[in-house]
Structure 1
Amino acid sequence: MNGVVWLDKHINQNDTVSLPPIRISSDTARFNYKYPNGNRSALRLTRIVSEIVRLLNGTEAEKNMRWIVMGDDDTVFFTENLIRVLRKYDHEEFYYIGSSSESHIQNIKFSYGMAYGGGGFAISYPLAKALEKMQDRCIQRYPKLYGSDDRIHACMSELGVPLTREVGFHQFDLFGEVLGLLSAHPLAPIVSVHHLDIVDPVFPNMGRVNALKRLMASSKLDSASLTQQSICYDTANKWTVSVSWGYTVQIIRGVLSPRVMEVPMRTFIDWYKRADDKSLAFNTRLISKNACQRPRVYYLSNALPDSALQRTASQYVRWYDMWDPECDWNMRDPSEIEEVIVYKIPDPDRWNKDKAPRRDCCRVLPMKKNDTMVIDVGPCKDDEFIEFSVK
Structure 2
Amino acid sequence: MSKFENYYVLSICKTLLICGLVLYLCTIFFFNDSNHFASSHLFSSLKSTISCPFTTQTTSISSTNISHIIFGLLGSQKAWHHRKSYIESWWRPNITKGHLLLDVPPQGDDLLSWSLNSPPYRISDNVSKLLKETNHVEPRVLRMVHGIMEVVREVHEGVRWIIMGDDDSVFFVDNMVDILAQYDHTKHYYFGGHSEYILSNYWYSFNQAFGGAGIIMSYPLAKEFAKNVMSCLKRYAHLRSADRTTMNCIADIGVNLSPLQGIHQIDLRGDISGFLSYHPKSLLTSLHHFDMVDPIFPSMDRVKSVFHLQKVAKYDQSRMLQQTICHKKSSNWTFSVSWGYSAHIYEKIMPRSWIQRPIETFKAWQPSPNPPYYMFDVRSPSWDPCEAPHVFFFKSVEKTQRGEIVTTYTRAWPRAIGACLSSGNFSAEYVSEIHVYSPTTKRIQIDKCECCDMIHEAGSNKADIKYRECKINEIIA
TM (norm. structure 1) is 0.90
1:224-243 correspondence to structure 2 within 5 Å: 224-243=318-337
Q: Bigger shift: 227-236 or 142-151?
A: 142-151
Q: Secondary structure at the match of 1:118?
A: helix
Q: Give the AA of the match of 1:363.
A: D
The answer to whether the aligner puts 1:113 opposite 2:207 as a matched pair is yes
Shift, 1:356, TM fit: 5.1
- CA distance in 1 between counterparts of 2:152 and 2:164 reads 13
- CA distance in 1 between counterparts of 2:419 and 2:195 reads 38
Identical-residue share of aligned pairs (%): 32
CA contact (8 A) 2:435 2:464 kept: yes
The answer to whether the aligner puts 1:324 opposite 2:432 as a matched pair is no
Q: Give the AA of the match of 2:470.
A: C
CA contact (8 A) 2:357 2:378 kept: yes
Aligned residues: 372
What's 2:461 paired with? 371
Q: Secondary structure at the match of 2:392?
A: strand
- CA distance in 1 between counterparts of 2:292 and 2:103 reads 24
- CA distance in 2 between counterparts of 1:116 and 1:107 reads 9
Change (3 A) 1:126 1:328: closer
CA contact (8 A) 2:347 2:420 kept: no
Shift, 1:381, TM fit: 3.6
Pick the aligned partner of 2:124 from 12, 22, 25. Answer: 25
- CA distance in 2 between counterparts of 1:252 and 1:21 reads 47
1:243-258 correspondence to structure 2 within 5 Å: 243-258=337-352
What's 1:6 paired with? 101
Q: Bigger shift: 184-193 or 330-339?
A: 330-339
1:93-242 correspondence to structure 2 within 5 Å: 93-242=187-336
- CA distance in 1 between counterparts of 2:402 and 2:369 reads 46
Shift, 1:382, TM fit: 4.1
Q: Give the AA of the match of 2:141.
A: A
Gaps of 5+ in 1: none
1:267-346 correspondence to structure 2 within 5 Å: 267-274=361-368, 278-306=372-400, 308-320=401-413, 323-327=415-419, 329=421, 330-346=424-440
Shift, 1:286, TM fit: 1.5
- CA distance in 2 between counterparts of 1:213 and 1:367 reads 34
- CA distance in 2 between counterparts of 1:229 and 1:327 reads 24
- CA distance in 2 between counterparts of 1:98 and 1:172 reads 13
Q: Secondary structure at the match of 1:316?
A: strand
- CA distance in 2 between counterparts of 1:99 and 1:161 reads 16
Gaps of 5+ in 2: 1-95
CA contact (8 A) 1:339 1:371 kept: yes
Q: Give the AA of the match of 1:114.
A: Q
- CA distance in 1 between counterparts of 2:338 and 2:468 reads 12
Shift, 1:52, TM fit: 1.9
Shift, 1:328, TM fit: 6.5
Q: Secondary structure at the match of 1:358?
A: coil
Q: Secondary structure at the match of 2:279?
A: coil
Q: Secondary structure at the match of 2:153?
A: helix
CA contact (8 A) 1:230 1:361 kept: yes
Q: Secondary structure at the match of 2:223?
A: helix
Change (3 A) 1:277 1:239: farther
Shift, 1:368, TM fit: 7.5
CA contact (8 A) 1:344 1:377 kept: yes
Structure with higher RCO (Cα < 8 A, 6+ apart): 1
CA RMSD of aligned residues (A): 1.8
What's 2:63 paired with? none
- CA distance in 1 between counterparts of 2:359 and 2:370 reads 12
Shift, 1:17, TM fit: 3.6
Q: Report the structure, 1 or 2, having the larger helix content.
A: 2
Structure with bigger gyration radius: 2
- CA distance in 1 between counterparts of 2:476 and 2:320 reads 20
TM (norm. structure 2) is 0.75
Q: Give the AA of the match of 2:160.
A: R
